[in-house]
Structure formats: C-alpha cells, structure tokens
Amino acid sequence: MIRIAVFGSEETVSLVQQHAHQIVGIEIQPFLYHSISDIERLLSQAIHCDVYFFSGILSYVHAENLLGEFDKPAVYIEDNELNVSLTLLTVIHHNLTALDRISMDLPDRKKLDIIIDQLQIMPKPTYIRDFSWIKTERARTFETAPLLQFHAELWDAGKTSLAITSIHSVYDQLVQLGIPCMRMVDAEKTVLDALNEAKQAGILLKTQLSQVAVSTISITHDGHTEPAQEQMEPILNGLQGIAKQMNGSLQKVGPASFESFSTKGSVEFLMGNSGLMAPLLKLANELSIVIHIGTGFGMTIVEAKKNAAIALSFTEKEKGHYFIVVTEDKTVINPQVEMADQVLSTEDERVIHLAKTAKVSVPNMIKMMQFLKSRPVNRITSGDIVDYFGITRRSAERMLKKYMDAGWLKVIGEEHPHQNGRPRSVYRLDLP
C-alpha cells in the first residue's frame, strides 16, 4: 500500500479522493491548505507518507524551496493540453462568452497555443498571462497579486467577460471582487495519470530502500594492532546495539572484523541520524580503538558484499574512525559520523503529547519513532519490537497493546513463522 500525501484546496483534494478508488494499492492522506504558506506546517505532518502529491506546480515549487530538495518522491497535477482543451470546451459548450472575451492565466501558454493552432479556433483567446519562468527560476518568489491585477484591470476596462485562473487563491479573490471567473478544469485522466505516477514512484522508493546492504567492519587498536579481548567485548556490544537499531544482524568473520546485514533504507536512516553512533565512537576513543566501516548496497548479497569491500578499501589509509558507502551504481558516499552526543530531547510538544496519549515514556516514544524511520515498510510484528528494544515478548506485546489502545496500531495480516505454531499478527503503526 503506497500512502500518498495530497496537498491542495478542499476542492482539489475532494477531486483526487473521488478518482483514487480506480487505482489499486494506494491510500490517500489529505492535507488541506487555505494559503500556500500553510504547506510548511503540513509537510512536517506528512512524514509517515511515501509520496508527496501537490495540486499544481505552484505548491510543488513552494514545497521544494522550503525543503531544498524533496526527501521522498513528489509529483503534481499538471495543467496539460487536455486540461486546457476541456476548459475551452466548457466555455464554448455552455456559451459563457466569446473566447476573445476571456482572460486566462496558466503555467505555460505554449499548451494553449498548440490547441488553438491545431483546432484553428476563432476567435482566439487574446488576454493570456503565463508564469513559465517558475520551472527554471526556482529562487524567484511567486506573487499572486500581479495575476489578480491582470484579470481585474481587463474586467474593469470592459475588455473581458470571464476570468480563467489556474491558481486557487486567485479564483477565491476574483469571487470576492464579484468578477465572473472559473478555475482551469482538472481532467479525470490528468488526475489519474498523476496518481499512477505517484504510485509507481512510491513502489520504486520502497524497492530501493529494501535493497540489501552489507557493512564490513574492521577494528584496530590505535589503527595498527589487533585489540585485546577485554577491549573487543564492549565494542562488540555497541556494534550489536547499532545493528538492532538498523533492523539488521551482526556476524563475526575474524578476530577483529565483522559483517552486518541490513537494508539500504536502514543504512540511510543511520546516515541521517549520526547521533546513534556517538556512544560507540566515544567508547572506542576511550579504549584507543579505531573503527572502519565499508558499506555496500546491491540487489543481491553478492553484489552488496563486493561494494562493501570496495568501500572498506577507501578507509584503509585513514587513521581515525571512517565510514564509506558504495551504492549499487558504484557511487562513493562519505557520510562521516560526527562525534556528537545523542540527546533524547523532551522539549518536542508532539512527542510529549504522543507519549502521554499512549501512556508510554518519552524515551520509549522517541525510540519507537526511530524504529519506524529505520524501516522501509511500515510492517511490524512483536518479534521486531523484541529485537529492536531488547525486551521480552511479553513486554513487547504490552507495549503494542498501549499503541493499539491509543488507536494508532492496526492489524494488517498475520504470518506463520513456525509450521505448528500459532499465527503471529502483523501490524501497521500510524503515529498522528
């Protein structure tokens, strides 16, 4: 199930929901905004979704500028030739006005020009304002006031009888001014095409995040000699703890070398949360231990191991702690882990509220949020909780019951880990 966060006006979100049932395997999460500035607040509420879906290029670009770059796939409903054609057909069919008596704004007037030329429409729409620069000049601020002024001045001068806009807020302001207006039509096919694109992008992301990741770990004393046994034991415990946080496993392959098996998504989670490595690196410094990690991504274990060996070779000449990643396409990434103490902050009002509602501790809630972020798919069993939190099965089931009682945990299936054993529930946890 691909969870799609839909950002738009009430009208657009309703339109998307109306057609979404035609596509199997998607779930719509609506995020309504009244102003484009609302998107900044809404983005932080959509972190549990797989894909961002925007009502148009304006909201898409605004969100991209806020984030710098999207942290997950993002698509938007385009104002394409079909939308423009249906809009003109609506005007003609309902005899709203002559086409040379309309004013129109849209992202790219080339789409309108193509339709006019192909259909030889007469009279031609005369008063057109586009903002095609928005696709290339991302740093430039978009202002709706000039578009509103464009429509209003033509109406006041008696040159137009109808304003057509592709911007929701401009439409609302035109209505308030009493100027006859309509929004650009969003064709059903355009909406379905965008939803299908969002679905495929979500599937691709989950496939990529589920790729195999192998980490080869080399431990030395002062960067040269093999550590003593009493030095290795606490380091091994620390490595096993990190492997658990990545939903992975750790295997010893030599006196001071290890292999960790996890997924690409789990490694990317670790790269984005470098504080998780801080306690281990602090302990290593106290013991004069140097840790080198080479991680490889691949569609198979063999491919990932080869890339891990390449990654580790980049660390051999380094004297301090070093972490290198080689991706499936042989891209080398150097996500150097900073020695910053990990702080479980209790100042986040959302975390505190969630913890109180679920009747769990704040550290427990923070760890549960980290657990969800580390997994490419929101699919949980009590066994997963046992492994990640390091608790008994009974404690894990009690914890899950608290999230169930809060209304956030849903049973989505069951699995049979043992032929003669009882089936085990599979859950999805959606934190509000």
Q: For 375-392, how does the pLDDT look when each residue is reduced to its tens digit (9 = 90+)?
A: 767 888 888 888 777 778
Q: What is the pLDDT of residue 387?
A: 78
Pairing state between β 249-254 and 257-263: antiparallel
Q: Which of 386, 387, 390, 342 has the alpha carbon at shortest distance from 366? A: 342
Mean pLDDT for the stretch of residues 264-289: 85
Report the candidate in 332, 322, 254 with the shortest Cα–Cα distance to residue 292: 322
Q: Per-residue pLDDT for 270 more than 50?
A: yes
Sheet holding 322-326, edge to edge: 249-254, 257-263, 212-221, 289-298, 322-326, 332-333
Q: Which of 401, 404, 286 is nearest to 339 (CA)?
A: 286
Q: Please determine, for residue 418, whether its predicted confidence score (pLDDT) is greater than 70.
A: no
Is pLDDT above 70 for 336?
Answer: no
User: The tokens of 84 are what?
Assistant: 């423009």
CA distance 79 to 393: 53
49 pLDDT above the threshold of 60: yes
State the virtual CA torsion across 187, 192, 193, 194 in degrees, nearest 10: 100
Find the helix or strand (DSSP H, E) in which 371 lies.
Answer: helix 362-373
CA dihedral 133, 136, 141, 142 (to 10 degrees): 40
- pLDDT of 307 > 50? The answer is yes
- Note the pLDDT of residue 24: 92
Mean pLDDT computed over 46-73? 89
Q: Is residue 277 pLDDT above 90, yes or no?
A: no
Q: What is the pLDDT of residues 91-150, one digit of tens each?
A: 999 999 999 999 999 998 988 998 998 888 888 898 999 998 887 786 778 888 999 999
Cα 355 from Cα 366, distance rounded (Å): 9
Residue 432 in this model has a pLDDT that exceeds 90 = no
Helix, strand, coil distribution of the chain in percent, nearest 5: 45, 20, 30
* Strands in 222-334 per DSSP E: 249-254, 257-263, 289-298, 322-326, 332-333
| pLDDT confidence bin for 337, thresholds 50/70/90 | very low
Tell me the pLDDT tens digit for each residue of 355-377. Answer: 899 998 888 888 888 788 777 67
C-alpha closest to that of 322 among 215, 202, 199, 203: 215
CA dist 157 and 336 (Å) reads 63
Average pLDDT, the chain: 87
pTM, entire model = 0.65
